[in-house]
Chain A
Amino acid sequence: MTTIYPTIAEAIAKSATTAKAPLTPNPTDHVLSRLAFGPTAAARAEIAERGIPAWIAAQIAAGHTYAGYAGDTLVSTQATLLGTSPADAHTFLKLRGNSYGWDLMTQLTQVTLGLQVWSSAQLYEVLVDFFANHLNVVCPRADLWVTRHTFDRDVIRKHALGSFTDMLVASARNAAMLLYLNLAQSSKAAVNENYARELLELHTVGLVYSESDVKNTAKLLTGRTVDSRTLDYTYNPAIHGTGAVRVLGFRHPNSSTADGEAGGDALLRYLAAHPATATRLAHKLCIRLVSDHPSDALVGAVAKAYTGSGTQILPMLDTILRSTEFWASRGQKVRRPAENIVATLRILDTRPATITAALKYLQVMTQQVGNVPLAWDPPNGYPDVAAAWRSASTLLTLWLHHLALSADSWPNAFAKSNKATLYGGTPANSGDAIARLGVRLTGAPLPVAHVQALQTFLGEAATTPVAKSTLHGLLPSLIALILDGPSHAMR
């Protein structure tokens, strides 16, 4: 039974904050694993000082302050091309002697990853990731070489804290989306239905549409295309097909070509505000933030917040955070592969040695688990439930990365650090070292059975003094093992 309280503070106070074994209740790490890409020592300290509700409010403010790519000063230095228009980007590439280079798309991918790890506006990055996945436009793809970044900048990042209607309307006026789903090639003489179908099925109402709705939507949206000179979105009335349309409960006379773009926008607004869209978006957001099987009651409440606020995104989030279901859901999600890698860097407080190399390695690591941000090819976006990500290969590769990061295997990319500082003091002995690492890396004491297994791994008694311990050689492996375990694999 989900109860929604008036405030986040009250929900935390009244909730039995529970966790699915072997995780233990820990509201701080819970919120840092759901509204951020994992805990860092600094974020834990900030919450300890200010409390969770104030931290969330500060995160929303940070999202406004550090909109776009400003969330981390070092990462933002690598976003040199992401502010350009398609035409300027093309000019830049021509001057570089590689007119069709993928520089912008590579930069977008790497900056996205860098911000997930290091941005101080974590909540914003979580929402950006969610909506980029919801309105998926694959990156990279050859024909999006100078437009893909504009989708991220002008559609997703611009509206991630605003209204979904605005985001949807912007997406239907973006060259990258139009090229990706072939609306750019659609015209009254040659209607292409690809975008229309996915707009209905994936972006908005879901499988409640008919084939006639697809055809009518496709017709009303003809004229939206890409200008061959600016390489940017344009509305071309000459290729707009007129004639009355009917899509679900929406009617439009569509009587003039001059009116075609406004007619399309009206349909987009109708679809964004549709109750079926509210339910689908609410369900997806709950799957991201709460559990793979959120209750109907919570989804209903979140959908109501969306509809009641005129399709605003933050009221959905606020409703989730005021629910008992959210605070009782620790351990109910398995981190997706890329999320696991990002969380590993965060929990280890890994800093870049060289930012360019660090971003490149982040891309490589996520590539090796098939989960590079933005790189999902079909329009439905990466799956977001554990059942879809079950993979022995991925587990082995994640374990490889845990070990590589804890052993400082990439000193050119990531700054070496003294991993013994993770003890947070001087351990009394081998057993104390394991206990301290467990708390530091998973946010809570490890279960007794886990402590015993790790002690066996070290091959020595818990009372062994650190000076005589195998930890001297095995500390990186011990850290990796804790991160390999379920307390880090789940959130």
Chain B
Amino acid sequence: MRCGEQNPAGLTRRRFLAGVGALGVSVVGSQVVTTRVAYGAPASNPNTVIVIFLRGGADGLRILSPHSADLGVNYLRIARPALVPNNAIALDGTGGWALHPAMAPLHQVLWSTGEMTFVPASSNKGVTRSHFQAQQFVEQGGSSSVSTGWLDRVLARLGPGTTFRGLADGFALPMSMAGNQPKISMSSLATFDFPGAGASRGPAMTALGTLYRGFDGPLSSDVPEALSAVATAEVIRSLTTVQNAAVYPDGPTAAALKDLVAILRAEVGLQVATLDVSSWDTHTSEALGLDALLANTAQALAAFFTDLGPARRSRVTVIVQSEFGRRVAMNASGGTDHGHGGLVWLLGGGLIGNKVHGTWVPLASDADLDGGDVQGLNDVFNVLGEVVTKRLGVGSLSTVFPGLSYAPLGVARAG
């Protein structure tokens, strides 16, 4: 729950905290970057990659649609008559692709500047139609022999950095971040603080650090990382004022992105961040459910990039992905069942924009599909790999995506 948000019990987080505040709140130091002692200087790469995972299998075909006969719109009108969007936004120069109208705010901010591009028909042959297998496979980077996530291994490749070099938004760590590379998991910047009273607060933090010394287990690293992030979070909180007249919608995605802007503005060495958006599993009434969610997500992202401003966002690349696309044909509940090839959106700096990348087989008959689904023609790991290679300079991808024969699609540029 985010600060100020009303919960069913009728209490806001702020009010809840106020009760404990009776014990007093003290101000901590203003050290901006809390570098882990065991590590060297903050990473020199100034860029950030943010991975937004649409949980549940987002219907890429409704978000970015083939809108010309050449690409297959006539076939879609038969297979999914109620799910081909009306008033789609034609993407000039792409040979007939169009965006769902709910994407308008994002299109307005990013398309003309070349900061937006897409890869349809993306997947990997190891991805099945099971949510949980697919998410795990994608987030582990296609390797069954490791238990860490691909972004944890990106952090390992990048080497030393700041406490805030890896950030997972939310209450639970996504599989892509699983592993022992230091990182911060944060559900809300507003509440990211050490509790307690003035004079005893510092000694309490010191004592707690000592209690977690000298044994194995995730807590022995998570506790010092949390403690070391507290002072930095205090500084970041002073940078949350929205800029450039950005207008955020309601909801957890916007709140998380607003926090991320403050973190980016604080320049605390953020390299990799993750954010989950749930409820894309549209088995029924998809036009209703997906459109509202898409509108909120697109508005939140548009506000995020506006708030960041042109200069800073040239260093920030956002990858939006899902575990799979959905079946091409609509089911009788007005929804779609689990499919295969999905859509990757790429937003922000360092992209080869104004394009729809990768291979697309025009849809003319069932034979163009993979068992009723969009084919997975564009290896999702090549897309992810290219972004972290070119934007973060990870060098070799051999540990990040073991076994991948890296063949970039040309979605990003180095620098």
10 more CB-based (< 8 A) A-B contacts, given A211-B129, A403-B195: A140-B8, A207-B130, A360-B9, A378-B56, A388-B172, A391-B171, A392-B184, A396-B195, A409-B22, A456-B206
Query: A296 interface residue, CB < 8 Å from B?
Result: no
Residue of A nearest to B185 (CB): A391
Q: Report B-chain residues with C-beta under 8 Å of the C-beta of A106.
A: 8
Within 8 A of A (CB), among B185-200: 185-188, 191-197, 200
Query: B126 interface residue, CB < 8 Å from A?
Result: no
- For the complex formed, measure the closest distance between the CB of A473 and the CB atoms of chain B, giving whole angstroms: 8
Contact B211 A364 (CB under 8 A): no
Contact A393 B132 (CB under 8 A): no
Query: A449 interface residue, CB < 8 Å from B?
Result: yes
Contact A459 B278 (CB under 8 A): no
How far is A391 from B335 in the complex, measured between Cα atoms in Å? 35
Contact A453 B171 (CB under 8 A): no
List the one stretch of A72-80, A159-167, A191-199, A262-270 in contact with chain B: A191-199
Q: List 26 A-B contacts (CB under 8 A).
A: A192-B333, A194-B283, A197-B129, A207-B128, A207-B133, A360-B11, A380-B131, A387-B218, A389-B173, A390-B173, A391-B168, A392-B226, A393-B188, A397-B191, A399-B194, A404-B19, A407-B20, A450-B211, A452-B210, A456-B206, A473-B200, A476-B23, A477-B196, A477-B204, A481-B208, A486-B211
Contact A368 B186 (CB under 8 A): no
Contact A197 B11 (CB under 8 A): no
Contact A410 B9 (CB under 8 A): no
Query: A485 interface residue, CB < 8 Å from B?
Result: yes
Q: A449-B210, A456-B207 are in contact. Are A337 and B222 (CB under 8 A)?
A: no
How far is A407 from B11 in the complex, measured between Cα atoms in Å? 20
Residue of A nearest to B332 (CB): A190
Within 8 A of A (CB), among B71-105: none
Contact A453 B226 (CB under 8 A): no
Contact A201 B193 (CB under 8 A): no
How far is A453 from B211 in the complex, measured between Cα atoms in Å? 7
How far is A212 from B23 in the complex, measured between Cα atoms in Å? 61
- For the complex formed, measure the closest distance between the CB of B115 and the CB atoms of chain A, giving whole angstroms: 30
- For the complex formed, measure the closest distance between the CB of B82 and the CB atoms of chain A, giving whole angstroms: 13
Q: Report A-chain residues with C-beta under 8 Å of the C-beta of B225.
A: 392
Q: A189-B332, A192-B331, A457-B207 are in contact. Are A396 and B230 (CB under 8 A)?
A: yes
Chain A residues with a Cβ under 8 A of chain B = 20-22, 102, 106, 140, 182, 185, 187, 189-194, 197, 201-202, 207, 211, 334, 337, 360-361, 363-364, 367-371, 377-378, 380, 383, 386-397, 399-400, 403-404, 407, 409-410, 449-450, 452-454, 456-457, 459, 473-474, 476-477, 480-481, 484-486, 489-490
How far is A380 from B281 in the complex, measured between Cα atoms in Å? 13
**Residue from the list A361, A368, A453, A489 in contact with B219, Cβ < 8 A:** A489
How far is A360 from B8 in the complex, measured between Cα atoms in Å? 9
Contact B204 A481 (CB under 8 A): yes
Q: Report B-chain residues with C-beta under 8 Å of the C-beta of A477.
A: 196-197, 200, 204
Q: Report A-chain residues with C-beta under 8 Å of the C-beta of B184.
A: 392
Contact A396 B211 (CB under 8 A): no
Q: Is the interface of A mostly helix, strand, loop or mixed?
A: helix
In the complex, per-residue mask of B153-190: 1 if CB is within 8 Å of any chain A CB, else 0: 00000000000000010111100001000001111100
Contact A403 B23 (CB under 8 A): yes
**Residue from the list B186, B195, B214, B337 in contact with A392, Cβ < 8 A:** B186
- For the complex formed, measure the closest distance between the CB of B352 and the CB atoms of chain A, giving whole angstroms: 34
Residue of A nearest to B174 (CB): A388
In the complex, per-residue mask of B269-293: 1 if CB is within 8 Å of any chain A CB, else 0: 0000000001101011000000000
Residue of B nearest to A473 (CB): B200
Contact B333 A197 (CB under 8 A): no
How far is A337 from B56 in the complex, measured between Cα atoms in Å? 24
Of all A-B residue pairs in the complex, the 7 with the closest CB atoms, nearest first, are A190-B332, A370-B171, A392-B226, A453-B210, A391-B185, A485-B211, A457-B207
Q: Report B-chain residues with C-beta under 8 Å of the C-beta of A334.
A: 217-219
In the complex, per-residue mask of B213-230: 1 if CB is within 8 Å of any chain A CB, else 0: 111111110110110011
- For the complex formed, measure the closest distance between the CB of B35 and the CB atoms of chain A, giving whole angstroms: 16
**Residue from the list B1, B195, B217, B284 in contact with A192, Cβ < 8 A:** B284
The listed residue with most A CB atoms (<10 A of its CB), out of B16, B56, B196, B218, is B16
How far is A197 from B284 in the complex, measured between Cα atoms in Å? 16
Query: B55 interface residue, CB < 8 Å from A?
Result: yes
How far is A473 from B199 in the complex, measured between Cα atoms in Å? 11
Give the number of residues in B that approach A within 8 Å (Cβ atoms).
75
How far is A324 from B13 in the complex, measured between Cα atoms in Å? 44
**Residue from the list A370, A371, A480, A486 in contact with B215, Cβ < 8 A:** A486
Contact B193 A396 (CB under 8 A): yes
In the complex, per-residue mask of B359-375: 1 if CB is within 8 Å of any chain A CB, else 0: 00000000000010000
- For the complex formed, measure the closest distance between the CB of B159 and the CB atoms of chain A, giving whole angstroms: 21
Contact B204 A393 (CB under 8 A): no
- For the complex formed, measure the closest distance between the CB of A284 and the CB atoms of chain B, giving whole angstroms: 13
How far is A476 from B207 in the complex, measured between Cα atoms in Å? 15
Contact A368 B191 (CB under 8 A): yes
- For the complex formed, measure the closest distance between the CB of B188 and the CB atoms of chain A, giving whole angstroms: 7
Q: Report A-chain residues with C-beta under 8 Å of the C-beta of B111.
A: none
Query: B7 interface residue, CB < 8 Å from A?
Result: yes
How far is A193 from B130 in the complex, measured between Cα atoms in Å? 11
How far is A477 from B55 in the complex, measured between Cα atoms in Å? 40
- For the complex formed, measure the closest distance between the CB of A416 and the CB atoms of chain B, giving whole angstroms: 14
Within 8 A of A (CB), among B34-58: 55-56
Q: A201-B130, A400-B20 are in contact. Are A457 and B185 (CB under 8 A)?
A: no
Contact A367 B194 (CB under 8 A): no
In the complex, per-residue mask of B20-36: 1 if CB is within 8 Å of any chain A CB, else 0: 10110000000000000
**Residue from the list A192, A378, A481 in contact with B283, Cβ < 8 A:** A192
**Residue from the list B13, B19, B197, B371 in contact with A368, Cβ < 8 A:** B13
Residue of A nearest to B133 (CB): A207
Query: B212 interface residue, CB < 8 Å from A?
Result: yes
**Residue from the list B1, B178, B203, B210 in contact with A459, Cβ < 8 A:** B203
**Residue from the list B23, B191, B215, B220 in contact with A393, Cβ < 8 A:** B191
Q: A386-B217, A409-B19, A489-B219 are in contact. Are A190 and B194 (CB under 8 A)?
A: no
**Residue from the list A197, A457, A481, A490 in contact with B130, Cβ < 8 A:** A197
- For the complex formed, measure the closest distance between the CB of A247 and the CB atoms of chain B, giving whole angstroms: 16
Query: B409 interface residue, CB < 8 Å from A?
Result: no
Query: B407 interface residue, CB < 8 Å from A?
Result: no
Q: A368-B1, A368-B191, A388-B172 are in contact. Are A407 and B23 (CB under 8 A)?
A: yes
